[in-house]
């Protein structure tokens, strides 16, 4: 291998790759000039990441990109559903609508944050999405400090590259611009890992106990953001164990207080708020999202689908990431970074939830995309670092291959993200505005909408709504209780909805507006719910008397004659 290039050329290429591509995290002091170059390149990477992050805030009210690889139902419903408590608080004066879908009973953290934002901005789609874009910014910032904490002596580009890959990802772009639960869950998870990482530092005194308190607060915040956070706890436990030198007495000394704080906060919320007032709504959230049917017979097919659908995270990132992870495990063996192991457990834990739940929606994979991206960067950096004692030419080849891999991941992602930024569409937003105009044109009719997308429409228009799909009351009872004035359906009225509405209303179709790209949900139809039209009772028709039996008065035979 060393004979392929002359010594002078190898030295030049090695210097170039060391200082311009992916420097190793070596403990040897870097000379002042290369250190300056390293800082400049780090700054350039972070600047590019900052530019792409800023693009997330452009066209906030645009549709989820049409004709994208991700056909996710959340783009019609979830932004409204999980912020409904905040929306209703400002529109109705109360966050709770008895019998309707009230997920805030079990998942209050996100609507509380939206409530704080709406206090200053009013209820709007742009405000809700601006909040989640801000959360993505904190995800990038936390990821940078987390990777730097475990990887980063001066001169390492791993933290900046990790942030850049996340910022340019089109998958992250489309889902971190939606006001859904996953970005906030990811942020809390990263903050928990960062707090645990602080425990590994020596001589931090009182600060160590403050970090334990922070961990104890973050754990229930994760659960109350999205209950699937429990699948991430093994990754948290592992990093805590390693950060405390794998010593049981130290681990228990800090883990028990953290768990006590977390358990106390969650139990207090449940005992004081949920159990006496909203236990039915709390239980309903779990029954509505119940286990969906993986069996021994379907185990391998479900697992195969779960792994295959990981390509949603990136057609290059996903296969390249799996390859880098495999190479890293084989090459590094016991020298794998503790953070890398924790990220592996994070990905494995949430993958097990996806397979168990067997409802493979693309948005769920966002919780996997973040650790996978960080893991790829960390392992790639560690693999390159493991060749530091090899020949100059081999080091050059390895570093160049690493750079090529990073460019192959980042460049197509960046181009796709720019394409989405350049061509926004507003079909759903425009349809919602037209629905508002139709309803406003009939002031005598109740403005209350019944729709599976009602909460999204409320977020965009300010009109009140109830859900036609989820709720603790049966739909017929809910409709009879709240008497909506309008029904807004996608493409057609399903039989169960018609059965619940027709005893009380006559559905009068008044408008239809094209929106989005799903063949099953691309036409938003507005029905006015009028009183039922009374149907006249059918009159009995007198049967005509046969001509031979017709007689005049007095010609009828007597009874006696008839008897004869």
Average pLDDT over residues 320-340: 85
What's the half-sphere exposure (Cβ side, CA atoms, 13 Å) at 156? Answer: 26
pTM score above 0.85: yes
95: phi then psi, degrees, rounded to nearest 5:
-80, -15
Which pLDDT value is given to residue 298? 81
pLDDT in tens, 457-509: 999 999 999 999 999 999 999 999 999 999 999 999 999 999 999 999 999 99
Pair 65, 174: CB distance under 8 Å? yes
Mean pLDDT of 374-385: 88
351-371 mean pLDDT: 90
Per-residue pLDDT reduced to its tens digit, 228-263: 999 999 999 999 999 988 888 889 999 999 999 999
* Cα(103)–Cα(81) distance, integer angstroms: 7
Query: pLDDT of 192-223, one tens digit each?
Result: 999 999 887 776 778 888 999 999 999 999 99
Q: How far apart are CA 447 and CA 461, in angstroms?
A: 11
Task: Give residue-wise pLDDT tens across range 117-126.
Answer: 999 999 999 9
Report pLDDT for 232.
96
Query: Which residue, 243, 257, 238, is CA-closest to 201?
Result: 243
Measured distance CA(288)–CA(280) in Å, rounded: 12
Give the pLDDT mean for 71-92. Answer: 92
Task: Give percent of the chain above pLDDT 70.
Answer: 87
The residue with greater pLDDT, 131 or 532, is 131
Nearest-angstrom CA–CA distance, 493 and 450: 12
- Residue 96 confidence (pLDDT) above 70: yes
State the residue for tokens 């992916």: 22
How distant, in Å, are the alpha carbons of 13, 18, 386, 502 from that of 7? Answer: 10, 16, 21, 86
In this predicted structure, what is the pLDDT of residue 391?
Answer: 82
Model pLDDT, residue 142: 97
Check pLDDT > 60 for residue 372: yes
Average pLDDT, the chain: 86
Residue that wins the pLDDT comparison between 186 and 558: 186
pLDDT at res. 432:
96
Residue 560 has pLDDT above 50, yes or no: no
Q: Which of 133-147, 390-404, 424-438, 462-476 has the lowest mean pLDDT?
A: 390-404
Sequence-ordered list of residues with C-beta below 8 angstroms from that of 533, at least 6 positions apart, any chain: 506
Cβ-contact 466, 450 below 8 angstroms:
yes
- What the block records as the tokens of 426 is 């507003």
- DSSP-H helix ranges across 423-489: 427-440, 454-461, 475-482
CA gap 276, 33 in Å, rounded: 66
Most confident of 19-23, 320-324, 479-483: 479-483
pLDDT tens profile 443-454: 999 999 999 999
- pLDDT at 208 (0 to 100): 84
Mean pLDDT of 540-548: 62
Lowest model confidence (mean pLDDT) among 79-88, 283-292, 343-352: 283-292
Using DSSP's 3-state secondary structure scheme, residue 486 falls into strand
Residue 19 burial (CB count, 10 A): 18
* pLDDT at site 85: 95
- Across-strand partners of 506? 530
Closest CA to 514 of 439, 451, 428, 441: 428
């Amino acid at each position: 291998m060393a004979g392929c290039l002359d010594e002078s050329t190898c030295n030049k290429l090695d210097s170039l790759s060391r200082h311009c591509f992916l420097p190793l995290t070596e403990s040897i002091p870097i000379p002042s000039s290369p250190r300056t170059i390293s800082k400049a390149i780090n700054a350039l990477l972070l600047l590019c990441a900052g530019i792409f992050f800023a693009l997330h805030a452009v066209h906030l009210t645009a549709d989820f990109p049409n004709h994208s690889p991700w056909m996710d139902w959340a783009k019609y419903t979830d932004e409204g559903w999980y912020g409904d408590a905040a929306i209703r608080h400002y529109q109705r004066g109360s966050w709770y609508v008895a019998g309707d879908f009230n997920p805030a009973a079990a998942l209050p953290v996100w609507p509380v944050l939206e409530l704080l934002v709406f206090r200053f901005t009013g209820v709007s789609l742009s405000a809700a999405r601006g909040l989640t874009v801000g959360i993505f910014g904190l995800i990038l910032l936390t990821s940078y400090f987390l990777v730097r904490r475990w990887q980063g002596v001066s001169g390492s580009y791993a933290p900046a590259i990790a942030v850049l890959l996340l910022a340019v990802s089109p998958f992250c772009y489309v889902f971190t611009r939606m006001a859904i639960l996953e970005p906030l869950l990811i942020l809390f998870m990263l903050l928990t890992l960062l707090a645990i990482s602080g425990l590994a530092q020596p001589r931090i005194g009182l600060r160590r106990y403050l970090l334990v308190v922070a961990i104890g607060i973050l754990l229930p915040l994760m659960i109350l953001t999205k209950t699937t956070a429990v699948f991430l706890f093994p990754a948290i436990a592992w990093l805590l164990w390693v950060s405390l030198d794998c010593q049981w007495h130290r681990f228990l000394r800090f883990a028990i207080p953290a768990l006590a704080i977390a358990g106390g906060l969650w139990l207090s919320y449940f005992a004081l708020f949920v159990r006496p007032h909203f236990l039915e709504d709390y239980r309903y959230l779990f029954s509505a999202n119940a286990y969906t049917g993986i069996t021994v017979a379907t185990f391998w097919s479900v697992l195969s689908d779960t792994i295959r659908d990981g390509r949603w995270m990136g057609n290059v990132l996903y296969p390249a990431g799996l390859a880098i992870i495999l190479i890293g495990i084989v090459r590094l063996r016991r020298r794998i970074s503790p953070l890398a192991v924790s990220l592996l457990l994070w990905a494995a834990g949430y993958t097990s939830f996806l397979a168990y739940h067997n409802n493979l929606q693309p948005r769920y994979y966002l919780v996997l995309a973040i650790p996978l991206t960080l893991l790829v960067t960390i392992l790639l950096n560690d693999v390159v670092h493991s060749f530091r004692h090899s020949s100059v030419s081999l080091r050059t080849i390895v570093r160049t291959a690493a750079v090529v891999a990073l460019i192959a991941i980042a460049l197509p992602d960046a181009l796709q993200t720019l394409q989405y930024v350049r061509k926004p569409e507003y079909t759903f937003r425009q349809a919602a505005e037209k629905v508002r105009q139709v309803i406003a044109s009939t002031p005598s009719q109740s403005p209350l909408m019944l729709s599976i997308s009602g909460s999204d429409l409320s977020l965009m228009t300010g009109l009140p709504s109830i859900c036609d799909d989820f709720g603790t009351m049966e739909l017929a009872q809910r409709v009879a209780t709240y008497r909506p004035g309008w029904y807004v359906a996608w493409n057609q009225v399903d039989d169960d909805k018609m059965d619940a509405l027709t005893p009380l209303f006559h559905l009068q179709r008044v408008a239809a507006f094209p929106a989005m790209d799903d063949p099953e949900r691309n036409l938003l139809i507005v029905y006015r719910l009028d009183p039922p039209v009374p149907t006249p009772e059918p009159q009995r028709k007198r049967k005509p008397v046969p001509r031979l039996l017709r007689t005049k008065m007095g010609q009828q035979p007597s009874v006696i004659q008839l008897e004869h």
